[in-house]
Amino acid sequence: MAKFIEKHKRILILAEMEDRKLASITFELLRAGREIANKVAGSLCVAVLGHEIGDVSHEAAYFADEIYSLNHSLLANFDPQLYSSALKQLYEHIDLKVIFMSQTLDNLSLAPVTAFKIGAQVITDCIRVTFEAETGYLLCTKPVYGAKFLSTFKLEKEPYLVTLRPKAFEPIKPSSKLGEIINFDPVIERKILKVEAIENVKQESISLNKANAIVSGGRGIKNSEGLDQLKELAKALRRHFIKVELGASRPLVDARLVPSSRQIGLTGEKVAPELYIAVGISGSLQHVTGILGAKKIIAINSDPKAHIFQVADYGVIGNFEEVVPALAKKLEDLS
């Protein structure tokens, strides 16, 4: 077990990994953490949890002051009890002011368990964080009431634990100074495991939160033929954007035209692409909640009173069967 003597304010980021590298959301968390660390004259730290994570820890050293490498065979697969136990042990050895996690399904189970174990105040799905200069309390802003309003919550008892929505912050830039890598060996007992084995089922790989552009269909897309037109539009967009994905509102998922992994909204994914094209989507609050971070929204709908036009930057009133092919052809002509 490593020994830690120096005590000062630390802002800790829980690293997210993908293909044995830092996931893009981690760099966004690091930007948020660095802004807070600068305001409180503290250190920006990263916790890397997993097994055989040396390369990831060295990658993180270009972005943070301290990198805590928690390497253990039982941390190879995510488990909220094991991960929270490891984080609790780290918390007991260093002085933490704030812990930032990404807003993922895994962390929605990890955050409350960890908060309970270390006695932290927790708030999820935040899009902005800052410190109140007069009190030192952490102010966290998040969408509420189906994203109809933004509300700011005040956390008054340290440590603070916050999950941040993807694309809420710009990615951090690497530093010329490498941070210190500290090996921390958590004591983890197999008996707290509630899952004996995990089998990874091969399925379609979808990363909606990483898409630069998304073409999304709603109730107005009644069949597979209509869905094929959206796919053609997405194909045309790939000439202009690096990563383009097909999304959907809940009616298309309920109709089993698309898998639930492509659902966007309050009960699906929350996305923030450069361009979001909503086709045949009425614009319910449940769906709008998931697209708040989109830079530009184009709505295509035959109903001029559809709510989606109130949140769109550009709107086209017309039948998508005519509009979508015309838009796809124009995009191809421009390439």
Integer angstrom CA distances of residue 320 from 10, 253, 263, 299: 52, 19, 20, 10
As given in the structure block, the two tokens for residue 221 are 């897309």
Q: How many domains does the chain have?
A: 2
* Interatomic CA distance for residues 214 and 225, integer angstroms: 19
Closest CA to 122 of 89, 79, 95, 156: 156
**Below-70 pLDDT ranges, the chain:** 1-8, 146-147, 191-205
The CATH number linked to 160 is 3.40.50.620
pLDDT, tens only, 209-234 = 889 999 999 999 989 999 999 999 99
In a domain, 138, yes or no: yes
In a domain, 273, yes or no: yes
Find out whether 141 and 151 touch, Cβ atoms under 8 Å.
yes
* Interatomic CA distance for residues 12 and 99, integer angstroms: 5
Q: What pLDDT is recorded for position 6?
A: 42
In a domain, 5, yes or no: no
Q: What pLDDT is recorded for position 203?
A: 53
Query: Which of residues 167, 192, 217 is at a domain's end?
Result: 192
The full DSSP string for 256-271 is TSS-GGGBBSTTSB--
Q: What pLDDT is recorded for position 205?
A: 60
Could you tell me the end-to-end alpha-carbon distance of the chain, in angstroms, rounded to an integer? 58
* Interatomic CA distance for residues 2 and 148, integer angstroms: 47
Do 261 and 302 fall into the same domain? Answer: yes
In a domain, 320, yes or no: yes
Q: What pLDDT is recorded for position 207?
A: 78
Do 22 and 165 fall into the same domain? Answer: yes
Do 216 and 184 fall into the same domain? Answer: no
Do 217 and 174 fall into the same domain? Answer: no
Find out whether 32 and 100 touch, Cβ atoms under 8 Å.
yes
The CATH number linked to 226 is 3.40.50.1220
pLDDT, tens only, 127-176 = 999 998 888 899 999 988 766 788 999 999 999 999 998 888 999 999 98
Q: What pLDDT is recorded for position 2?
A: 44
* Interatomic CA distance for residues 52 and 46, integer angstroms: 16
Domain of 295, in residue numbers: 208-334
Q: What pLDDT is recorded for position 254?
A: 85
